[in-house]
Amino acid sequence: MNDVRRRTVLAAAGGTAVAGKAATARAQSPAASDAARRAGTEPGPHEAEVRALLGRMTIDEKLGQLQQLAWTGATGPGGGQTAAAEKAARRGRLGSVLNVYGARTTNALQRMAVRESRLGIPLIFGLDVIHGMWTTFPIPLGQAAAFDPAVAERDAEVSAREARSNGVHWAFSPMMDVTHEPRWGRIAEGGGEDPYLTAALAAAKTRGYQGEDLRSRDRLAACAKHLVAYGGVEGGRDYNTVDVSEARLRNLYLPPFRAALDAGVATVMASFNTVSGVPAHGYRHALTEILKEEWAFGGFVVSDYNGVQEMTVHGYAADRSDAARLAFDAGIDMEMASTTLNEYGKRLLRSGRITTDRLDDAVARILRLKFRLGLFDHPYADEDTVIAGPTKASRAAAREAAGRTMVLLKNEKSTLPLGRSGSIAVVGPFADSTDLRGSWAGTWADAFRPVTVLEAVKDAAPKARISHVRGVDASGRNTRGIARAASAARATDVTVVVAGEAATLSGEASVRGDITLPGEQERLITAIADTGAPFVVVLLSGRPLTMEGWLDRTPAVLQAWHPGLEGGNAIADVLFGAVNPGGKLPVTFPRAVGQIPVYYNHENTGRPYDPHNHYTSGYLDLADGPQFPFGHGLSYTTFDIGEPRLGVSRVRAEALCKGDTVEVAVPVRNTGRRKGDEVVQLYIRDPVASIVQPVRRLSGFRRVTLRAGEATTVRFRLGAEELGFWTQDRQGRFLLEKGEIQVFAGNSSLAKRERVLTIT
């Protein structure tokens, strides 16, 4: 089909009709309209109280609500604001404090605001509870690999219970920055490269933190971050430039934010990068035009740490006063750490460069959340019911979650699972390491020591003879232990090499130019391979690693991410088959850094790679395609996924616009000998469109558990949202075009089973 299609314009320019499209979906979904109410996008029950309070506040008190200061005894970048926070709280010149927790500490601070300030407006306490408070869950990228939003939701529920009981009201999570950049350390914090998967996780995590009622003593306000396109930082270098088209903004980066909003997310955080020449903190198009106007977001936007003031360093704001004005106009409601709005707000108001209406709008947004959290009635944490650490139940949840995140990348000759008898060597820098918790396990959780892989293996196989040699350090050049590790491998039935990256190598500002195994770990693995004895590699990492130097010689590889507090036990569960791995890659694993960006949902070139044609799109010195594709992951059993069956093969565009959907039924059978999990994945391709479309787009996934021989049918629904796309129009135009759509089903982004749906 090469004729240009006739287009059905779902949404006309101007934003209103976009809302029309969204409204079609919303009108039919009571859950979504409940969520909108929860998010404050509809007039809430506290409007009268908010207005009354605003009427009594001075300008200084209003500006004070816009300020968030950091609670830290430490000095350093942005540190040391504790004394200032106490003073501001007493004077009613503070809205929020970050990095504070503990019932007693938060209560003492809260008393200063509630009892000593003129109006007694409570403070809101925020913390980076990203993948656990006391009970560290696997890193978010690992959670994404579970392809099971329930894992993310559970993490958020456990986190919320632990954090709220310790005086925290607000988690700076979920992070939902879609990225194509494995060098970027913050890939660990998000859901990987796919907007559909990341959107599902963003919604699940929001639900898990917030529940039905933010007043509950086991819930937190969530924060969708970072708006916007932070994952696109050039070269993967943190805080760097992003130049992005409107279509990519809306099709790739924004869907998770929209999903979080539909789930009722209370707040949004801006990002550190520039977006097409404008620092995100000054990017009115995203913060106001799209978020607050087009999407009618009623919550508030917090800046990132010093993000407002840093607009002067970007070379966008002339000085700090200018930064305050630009950020406020763009849509920032609360300023984290830097204090420009408080210092210059009055002068800006007097000179008319910011308006009282905008000030009242920002303050009202913040007050609304304080009411929704119930802080005016219950400002204090209950010091008698504090959760002081992980519990048996929270540990069990973390262990189960970690088991679900593991991805079996390779398993030749059924090397895994291991038997529980005989002899096992557990080697490598992370074999007996407690560095399992990942980049955002805060120092607050340091008191809780993870069980190491070695300890867990000993526990799981008490009858086996287990030896341990470290071999090499996690980084560094000392190779003296390699020979001993190889002898241990020679002397045992099987060797488990636990290799990877320290947690400090991923996360904020932890960018790598080389994403191979650090230090001399590759030499350790090849030395074990040289022995000819069977072995497996367990990889701990906050990002995809390249493995060209050792993968071919390694019979089995288990990608375990940074699996959290119970990660050691979860790894042993999978090694011995108590848990059959069912995770899938939420991100493409490149062969080499030179291929980056490499991602499954890329656009076609006019000359897709053809090994027999020199003038096609490829690398002279690299094989085509990634090391492992998005969606890949093996199991100890096997599955057959059948042809997708369409409920109808033709559907009218008008019907889709009105909310109709097409059912796609995909049969799946466990063809092996043990119970296991498969993730049935649905992809679509729109082969001819007025904007070149990705060669594949994930449009549905379901993780199912099947006994040996068992079969089931997984049903998906494709509607306008899945089948259409956003155009380059800055006003927001969503198109559903007539023509053919290829529908693929399978167990990775290479899914082959195909049917064609025709939109008429």
Catalytic site positions: 304
Of 430, 336, 399, residue with least CA distance to 132:
399
Helix pair angle (16-27, 30-38), 10° resolution = 120
- Three state DSSP letters for 617-652: CCCCCCCCCCCECCCCCECCCCEEECCCEECCCEEC
| Per-residue mark of binding to ligand BGC, 122-151 (x: CB under 6 A) | ------x-----------------------
Smaller CB separation from ligand BGC, 168 or 474: 168
Q: Say if CB 641 and CB 666 are below 8 A apart.
A: yes
225 vs 685 by CB, closer to ligand BGC: 225
Q: Of all helices (H) and strands (E), which one includes residue 270?
A: strand 267-270
35/98 with CB nearer ligand BGC: 98
Shortest spacing between CB 175 and ligand BGC, in angstroms: 7
CB burial class (10 A; 0-12, 13-18, 19+) of residue 33? middle
Burial (CB < 10 A; 0-12, 13-18, 19+), residue 296, is middle
Instruction: Name the residue nearer to ligand BGC (CB basis): 209 or 305.
Output: 305
758: β partners? 650, 740
525-541 CB burial, b ≥16 within 10 A, e <16: bebbbebebbbbbbbbb
Query: β-pairing, 697-706 with 676-685?
Result: antiparallel
The neighbour count for residue 742, using CB atoms within 10 Å, is 15
Residue closer to ligand BGC by CB (options 70, 375) is 70
SS3 275: strand
> Does 304 engage in binding with ligand BGC (CB under 6 A)?
yes
Q: Does 310 bind ligand BGC (CB under 6 A)?
A: no
Backbone angles phi, psi at 271, to 5 degrees: -110, 165
Q: Phi and psi of 417, rounded to 5°?
A: -75, 165
Min. distance of Cβ 306 from ligand BGC in angstroms? 8
Q: How far is the CB of 448 from ligand BGC (least distance, A)?
A: 21
Say how far apart CA 334 and CA 219 lie, in whole Å: 21
Q: Give strand ranges (E) for 140-209.
A: 170-171
Q: Residue 508, interface with ligand BGC (CB under 6 A)? A: yes
Q: Which of 147, 209, 283, 305 binds ligand BGC (CB under 6 A)?
A: 305
The closest residue (CB) to ligand BGC is: 172
Q: What distances in angstroms separate CA 460 from CA 86, 418, 536, 576, one per listed residue?
A: 50, 11, 17, 8
SS3 assignment, position 740: strand
Site string for ligand BGC, 150-179 (x = CB under 6 A): ----------------------x-------
Within 13 Å of residue 214, how many CA atoms lie on the same side as its CB? Answer: 29
Cβ atoms of residues 698 and 252 within 8 Å:
no
Residue 141 C-beta: closest distance to ligand BGC, Å: 15
Which CB atom, from 225 or from 703, has the smaller least distance to ligand BGC?
A: 225
Amino acid identity of residue 498, one-letter, is V
- On whether the CB atoms of residues 677 and 580 are closer than 8 A, the answer is yes
Closer to ligand BGC by Cβ: residue 198 or 748:
198
Tell me how far, at minimum, the Cβ of 235 lies from ligand BGC, in Å.
Answer: 18
Return d(Cα 343, Cα 328) in angstroms, integer.
13
Distance in Å, CB of 330 to ligand BGC, minimum: 18
Q: Using the minimum distance from each CB to ligand BGC, give the nearer residue, 134 or 170.
A: 170
Q: What is the spatial distance between Cα 271 and Cα 116, in angstroms, rounded to a whole number?
A: 34
**Beta carbon of residue 230, minimum distance to ligand BGC (angstroms, whole number):** 8
Contacts of ligand BGC in 64-103 (CB under 6 A): 98
**Does residue 562 bind ligand BGC (CB under 6 A)?**
no
First to last CA, the chain: 14
- How many residues line the site for ligand BGC (CB under 6 A)? 7
CB of 655 to ligand BGC, least distance (A): 42
Are 760 and 699 in contact, with CB atoms under 8 Å apart?
no
**What residues are paired with 589 via a beta bridge?**
628
Interatomic CA distance for residues 116 and 382, integer angstroms: 20
Pick the binder of ligand BGC from 38, 154, 225, 696 (CB under 6 A): 225
Nearest to 23 by CA among 206, 301, 260, 258: 258
For ligand BGC, which is the closer residue by CB, 266 or 407? 266
The total number of residues shown for the chain amounts to 760
For residues 5 to 44, the per-residue mask of contacts with ligand BGC, x marking binding by CB under 6 A and - elsewhere, is: ----------------------------------------
Cβ distance to ligand BGC smaller for residue 69 or 98? 98
* Nearer CB in complex with ligand BGC: 204/227: 227
- Following DSSP, what letter does each residue of 220-239 receive, concatenated? -B-EEEEETTGGG-GGG-TT
* Contact indicator for 672, 38 with CB cutoff of 8 Å: no
Tokens (6 digits) for 130: 């990203």
**Minimum CB separation from ligand BGC for residue 356, in Å?**
29
Tell me the closest approach of the beta carbon of residue 172 to ligand BGC, in angstroms.
3
Shortest separation between residue 174's beta carbon and ligand BGC, angstroms? 11
Q: Where do contacts with ligand BGC occur on this chain (CB under 6 A)?
A: 98, 128, 172, 225, 304-305, 508
